[in-house]
Structure 1
């Protein structure tokens, strides 16, 4: 390799380094749909910049490639140790054995958050460490591939793969801006590397032949076509109910439903029709045990669905009437470890594959089968007591099922105190439960999917319930958990059910039964109370959703229960709202997201990160142009007249001045002096130098005039910019055309306007 080739490759190091930084930033942008922007975004950019800066200066010292990579790895270790593990490090930056032992635990926590969480995730320390560290390692690899191995195409494959992962994990609309920025960065890396490989005479030829502009023009056309075509392509569909980024269960039944309800993409999961008076709720499982701060799904004995011990008859007191209904369910897009069924089911027909049932709670589970694509019928026998009958029954038993009356050892007194206060004056268990239900559905409470996260009580444990009862804003898990715990303080057996709201009526009907569409956003939780001689009775405390439970008197009509099993509004009940629930609660719930007087503190870091990211992206063209200008002038100071003249041509192109291939340097120089304010003396120096370099033997590098021609080129550029109006000057600075348009190319103008004058 000649000295000129080595110099050209070294000269390309800085623009390539900047290009790698931009590409790494662009690859991170889609991740913001998976993890909410916070300090991890700033940390990732800072670490990438630090790694690349260390690599650049190491190469300037002509260190071997292995040494460069080791220096970059050292910067990565010091940064990660100081930011995330400094409490275990020596002098905050030197890892110790304790630092190494702490690392696997953080990685494991981050992995669990990814596997079990629902997008968009809040970035914990462990997850931030994983993202920032991964970005740093990616930067080291890309830097080695691009600047050491000089294989930008291979690096492009890796960058595109990283860019695609968030889109696969959380399907949604294509991030056009991130795609354009990544495409531009990759094109820049490829072109810069290609130019550094060209022979000097070839590099001079491309300045007038327009090859770079043509290549970048083709790339720009490809980007425009992709941007225009992306909205026309079918979007990836999220498997609703997957609720997780990793391989977690289809429905998170530990009552962490807030993440499932706040999914960025809502899809239809089922089509339902029923012979019942109205579409029933569909349940998947029950939760009776409060383990720590989380309600856990009941782990009970299962038997084959077709066995005699499976879905047996519904046992109630002889005087209570049972009504039989048939509900047809077609699963369109749901992968779940439980089958959605109406309650109480006595038979399920039409299932494909092997299935089991838990007799305790009539839950149906697959055994080697899948819920996806199933079309089946659920036969239910719904108890229909009269108001007098249920008032005569006790919500309690001498031998309640395990865990259904248990309370945590440490429970906030406010839960029991409010339960006693709200039910004071009632004379039977049913009226007490209706009083609780009415209190939750009163104007004192407000449905909200966002407030719980902002106020820090997005959970279902006793602390979260106590906080919910203070703030009185939340969603179904808060209402259901609070109702169940308050009823237990009154001595009543309770459990929580996870399932789906009835859905939204469509215009279709089959056998005179309206077809309802159930969406992923209608995932729901509600409480049940055990009555002697009747069984589990569902209630609907969630404010603004569903229909509250009530029964009619025997003197007016047959007993009807307005509950998740068979909903028909009682005369005193308010008209039921549409039971659709979207992730922002806008269909049924009160307005969400309005400000209040609670004085909650808003974290400005996510917004600041986004603003800084946007400003960084906008500054990239100007930064690249300034780097290139400095490189050109540095070459000019060695006596390279072609580089000095190129600086003038680039300035003219940035300002929209034609630089055609058919025009000689003298003719262009005269036009710049006469029409565009270039200083005559400095232009004369440049014209003489470029003509000498072009025609005189050995005139290419006249080192004795290097400073003069560099200073002349700078003066001409300043004068050209000063001669135009301010808007044109600002546009030339923030969107320099010379980055993609080369002098003499078809995009640099034909010069016709100049000849016309």
Structure 2
């Protein structure tokens, strides 16, 4: 087997072994597809090299083959004649990548085996395999490919909850060892057959010098260095560099907010406390006074977190959705409302904002709904940002008497009646507050709502960051009594379960602010949480325990049954839920500094080009330009430093190095083994006649400084070096001059030099270990 074939196969094996670390993140057949794609790339590379194809051609052909295979596997519908990728293929690939990134930001590992996630994983692994092949085979720098394997390991290690199993580090390490061994064997085979077990220290000493042994020691040193450096560097990185799984949830991003499917409650709190008050959506139609728009319902509470309970696969949207769960009346007699909702690109959510209960919706393809919660969710990871859709919803308006007469709690599911381990003090408080209901569940619910809004002495403030776990709820209910909608909603939902009422927590938006032509504008700070309680024969009913400082009025079906008695809260019989006659928007008194306020908040238009990706595009382009300018900048600074050195041996050697690097930058074949006299004679052949004397004086001066004993150490060769450099520059074609400015080849030479010096350092480490081992063996034999 030829050397390049051996290294190619080793590079393929290292890529696949390195990709094993992604198995805790992705699911499905991504690894088998990636192995095939990388194998095809490797096979094409071996074939082209056996055919003596130019080295620069090989990676381009490999890339074309990779694009064709990925298109055939995943994007076949977009191919022209079923074979040729076209513009539509690129656009569909980009959309699939966007969907995959959004799913990665929202779902926790392991990710679902969706086609766009499989495409993402296979593309990333195959592209990594192509880069490893180029680095190891084309550039003969196999050691640098270890950085790609390290990145492939550290990304899931830093993002998977609980970290990766320690044994998953073994496959990438083995792959790297095999790759280094293959390259070492290929290099050594050029000099003849390798003699194992012999070192250049002493052939009689049993010093291990095999490629595997040296690679193992080098990897061990690298791992130790990384283990020492990474912990010192990672704490300095800002939140989100490695990732917390929530895109766009950092403070003050100015680009909107996200709601994930893993922890919607946490995302809502971040948007209220740290997010900008940008427009989330606008809508027209619906009841007079606006309507609550719900994203989803959290029905599972384990004592620590409120989240979505395990569900069956979502149902396809085709015609009318299922009737509202628990409602046994005649839906044909229930009033209906039509809405047109336009979601801003600033609001990235896999849940579509809809009123409850929704009857029909125009979102069809790639959207599903849950029959129990009646929430509409994406099935392939895409977000609702930028969507415009129509819907029809039922205006359920139960009367207080109907709710009062509802008999039996019923069990809508196995989750919404479950009470986790709860402190006795909370249980006793719930029973004490509802004892006047005399066992009527609706009256008990109204008593709980009124206690939270007025009778319990609560204060609304977004400063409470403790969440909604049992410990936080106990402190909220019994100690500080300060919180925002999250604590009020989850507190009432828990106490409702204690007294026997099934409950869950809705996450969504308040009705927003009314505008012209019946259009309502909903902003990010209108996000809200509320409890939904279940009554047999009527279904899920919304309550509003959040105080009037945040939400002015309660649902009209709760007012007549038990009016609020606090003198600070103006009771009203006017409805505020669907069908209300006045705007049930957010009242934010100036006296409460903790409330989200529009004053001082920059309102960013959802359609602004800069905030919707333009700024990021500019930053990326600027970053690419800066990266491209790095070689030119380093080269310019190096040249200036060399000419600034005073006369002497060091200064002259720097000038000689500058002439050497200029020659290489301009595409001239400078010999590294030539003497100064030979190099000077060679320069004369490349320069015009007027520059010959300067070139000869420069070469003779360097020769004298290196080898003559009585040379003048103050010899100044700066004028000669500048003249030679200028003559070389003027003789070069314009294309080579531009390449020398933008991407000087001497930059690559220094990179190779750095790799060689690093390898030499590791060789010294090998020798040190060999000496220590030899010394230990001698002492053992002596004893």
Report the TM-score range of the alignment, normalised by the length of the smaller protein: 0.3 to 0.5
Q: Per chain length, whose mean CA-contact separation is higher, i.e. which structure has more relative contact order (CA < 8 Å, sep 6+)? A: 1
TM-score with structure 2 length normalisation?
0.41
After TM superposition, the score normalised by the length of structure 1 is: 0.43
